[in-house]
Amino acid sequence: MSWKAFEVVFRLRTPLHSGWRKVGNLLMTRPYVTGRMLWGALTMRLTRNEAGDEAATDSGRYEKTGELVHEKLAFTYFYPALKAKSGFEVNWPWEGEADFRRRFLGGYAGTALNRSGHAAAEGTLHEVEFISPHTIDDGKQVYLAGYIFERGDCRLNWRSALRRIQFGGERGYGWGAVEPLGSPNEMDCLRLFGNVSFKGSGDRPLLSLEADARLLAHTAADPNLHAEGEIEPLVGREWRTKHVGQDVGFSGVCFVPGSKLSGKGKFQVGRLGIWKAEG
């Protein structure tokens, strides 16, 4: 089954919290949008669009739609980008990490009030880190750039769904709002992010990287994969009707984005945008 690649760019409208880890009172954000986040946002919007005026409260509907999204679509991770003379320039978090954090990441402090309403409740002070919709230093608009892969027999109306999705945490406060710029652009050159080769003739999208290239998504740690970088267990909460938020999905132990290949590599884009080495 063949796959097509589409370039997608979102304008980030509000702060975006891509949940990562907690350090003290700080809830840290990942500096990119993961495949799990995009899968979850599309699954929710497609399910609610299909329900129409009905209440979309049946978890079975979401599970069914989520499986279809897994089968018919695949994703890269999405990274902060700024407008350039021609197109958009991605700002990689690992190229000058301190400068990236200073320019793109902010924080919001909050607390719960005690019953009297006159003081903070003990132990509730916290700070939520976020990707800012505008650069901290000079106020430039921040965009999110990446790619969506569509299988040839896909009938999901994902293009329309992109117009009404939110990413990440704190969505109830309006965070994570994005706006797609125009329609997804089908790629003719089959080169993604400037240096990643794409082949769409297999069961899953196949990406090829040159030696010393960076991994641009979580990549399953495999003994045959020669790479340098941190590894982490990749987990995420899954929401079901009965035990809301208590189901934990485990996607394996992975190299983190930004890890460097020691040689050339070919990777399948699997579920949730996770890469798996071939050969």
Which portions of the chain are predicted below pLDDT 70? 117, 239-246
CATH for 3-277 (2.60.40, 3.30.70, 1.10.4160, 3.90.120) = 3.30.70
How high is the pLDDT of residue 65?
96
CA dihedral over 31, 37, 42, 48, signed as positive or negative: negative
Instruction: Give me the pLDDT at residue 113, please.
Output: 84
Domain boundaries, the chain: 3-277
Amino acid 58: pLDDT: 84
Q: What is the pLDDT of residues 253-268, one digit of tens each?
A: 999 999 999 999 999 9
CA-to-CA separations, 96 to 16, 76, 91, 92, 133, in angstroms, rounded = 21, 22, 10, 8, 20
Q: What is the pLDDT of residue 240?
A: 63
The Cα–Cα gap between 10 and 236 comes to: 24
Whole-prediction pTM value? 0.94
Instruction: Give the model confidence (pLDDT) of 152-207 as tens digits.
Output: 999 999 999 999 999 999 999 999 999 999 999 999 888 999 999 999 999 999 99
